[in-house]
Amino acid sequence: MPDVFAELVGQDDAVGTLRRAAASAAAVLRAAHLPAPAGTVDDPDDDLAALAEADEDAAAGSTAPAVDPGAGMTHAWIFTGPPGSGRSVAARAFAAALQCVHGTGCGTCPGCHTTLTGTHADVRLVAPEGLSIGVGEMRALVLRAASTPSGGRWQVVIIEDADRLTEAAGNALLKAVEEPPPRTVFLLCAPSTHPEDVSVTIRSRCRVVPLRQPSAAAVADVLVRRDGIAPDVAQWAAAAAQGHVGRARRLARDPEARQRRDAVLAVPRRLTGVGTALDAASALIEAAEAEAAASVAESDVAERAALQTALGAGGTGRGAAGATRGSAGQLKDLEKRQKSRATRAQRDALDRALVDLAGFYRDALTSALRAPVAPVHTDTATLAEAGGQKWAPEGALRRLEAVLECRAAIEANVKPRIAVEAMMLSLWRG
C-alpha cells in the first residue's frame, strides 16, 4: 500500500511541508517522553506549547542537520486551493501521518489505516451537508476535541469547507484555536485565506498550506496508473475536468456524467432567441435538481428510517405510544437538515455545469485570440473555434464573464433560476 500522501496529485511542495511537519510532530512526542500509541493515555496537563519547546530543546542538542523552524509542528493549519486541488485529501493525509505509529504516514499501520477509513477515535471530521456549519455543531466539536487523545498521539479535527462557517461558529472555533487544548490539531480546508472565506483572526493563528490546480497530464497519469483507465479516455477526462481529479474520474467512469456534460455543452447551439434562452435555463436548472435529488435520496430515506426506529416506531410494548410522543419536532429538524443538504447538492451540480460551460467559452476566446494553448473540451473544439470566429475576442470574453458572474451570483444566494436565466439571455445577446 502506498503512503498516505500518494493520493495528492501534483502537490510536491505541499507534501514536502506536511512530511516535515509530521516528522516534527513525532519528534515532539518523543522529546516529551510520551509512551508509544498502544492504547496508553497521556498526561492531560501537557500542552502543545510545552511539547514544541521540548522538541526545540531536543533539536538544539542533536548532531543532525539543522531543520527550518518554519517546517515544524503547529496546532492549526489551513489548506487552500481551487476545487479539485485536494484540500480535504491533504488534510486527511496529514491527519493520518500525525497518527502514524512511525511518524511518517506509512499508510500501513493501524493509525494510518483507521484515519483514512474514517474510524480513528481521535480524528473528527466535519463535512457540511447543508449550506453552512452552525454554532451548535462547532461548540459540540470543540468540546469533544478538548479530551485527551485516546491513542496517545494527537487529537485531530478536520473541518472541510471552513468557508461555510457561520459567524457564530467561527467565533466558537476561534476560541479553541486561540487556546488550543492539549495536543489537539485543527485542520481547516477553504478556497483561500480571503476574509470572505476565513476570518482574519483565525487566519492569523494558522499555518497556510497552499495547493495548486494539478496539470491535466498529472491527472491523466493518476487515472491510468491507479484506476486502470485507458490513456486516451484519461487524457480527455483530465482536460475536460480542468484539473479536478474527482470530476475527471467520474467523467471517465460514469456514462450519466458524460451525458450531463454533453447536454451542457449543447447549450451554445440552442441560444437562438429569448424563448430558447429561457428554455435552456429551465433545462439546466431541472437537470441540476434531478441530479441533486438522486444523490441524496438514498441517504434521506436511511436517515429517516433510523430516526423513526430510534424514536420507537413500530413498537408494541408498554410505553411504545409514549415513546413516539414528541417525535414530530425531531423529524422536522431532520427534514430541515435534509432540505438544506438537497439545496447544497443542487447548487454543487449546477456549479459543475457552469464550469463546463465556462470551459467552452474559454476555448472560444483562446481560439479567437489564436492563443497557443490546448482546449479544455477537445470534443467541442471545432464548435468553440467557429464561435470564436463569429463572436470575435470581445464577444467570447463577454460570454465567459456572463458565466462567471452567474456562478458568483449563486454563491451570493441569488435564486439559481433567476441567475441562470439572466446568464442565458446575456449569452444570447453577446
pLDDT exceeds 70 at position 182: yes
pLDDT exceeds 90 at position 326: no
Q: What's the whole-number average pLDDT of the chain?
A: 83
* CA-closest candidate to residue 386, choices 268, 252, 285: 268
pLDDT digits (tens, 9 = 90+) for 328-350: 777 787 777 778 778 888 888 89
Phi, psi of 165 (to 5 degrees): -65, 135
Amino acid at 233: V
What is the reported pLDDT for 162? Answer: 92
Report d(CA 41, CA 52) in Å as an integer.
19
Extended beta strands in 64-197, E state: 76-80, 123-126, 155-159, 184-190
Map residue 285 onto helix, strand or coil: helix
**246 with 226: CB under 8 angstroms?**
no
pLDDT exceeds 50 at position 93: yes
**368 with 400: CB under 8 angstroms?**
no
What band does 59 get if pLDDT is binned at 50, 70 and 90? Answer: very low
Q: Cell numbers for 35, please give them.
A: 509512551
Report d(CA 94, CA 102) in Å as an integer.
13
pLDDT exceeds 70 at position 361: yes
What is the reported pLDDT for 50? Answer: 43
What's the chain's length in residues? 430
What is the reported pLDDT for 416? Answer: 94
Report d(CA 299, CA 292) in Å as an integer.
12
How close are the terminal C-alpha atoms of the chain, in Å? 52
Phi, psi of 190 (to 5 degrees): -155, 155
Axis crossing angle, helix 216-227 with helix 231-240, rounded to the nearest 10? 140
What is the reported pLDDT for 280? Answer: 95
Count of CB atoms within 10 A of residue 88's CB?
A: 17
What is the reported pLDDT for 333? Answer: 77
Report d(CA 351, CA 363) in Å as an integer.
18
What is the reported pLDDT for 73? Answer: 87
Sheet holding 184-190, edge to edge: 123-126, 155-159, 184-190, 76-80, 207-210
The predicted model gives 53-78 an average pLDDT of: 54
Task: Report the range of poorest mean pLDDT among 85-89, 206-210, 334-338.
Answer: 334-338
Q: Cell numbers for 130, please give them.
A: 447543508
Q: Are strands 155-159 and 123-126 parallel, antiparallel or unpaired?
A: parallel
Amino acid at 194: H
Report d(CA 382, CA 367) in Å as an integer.
10
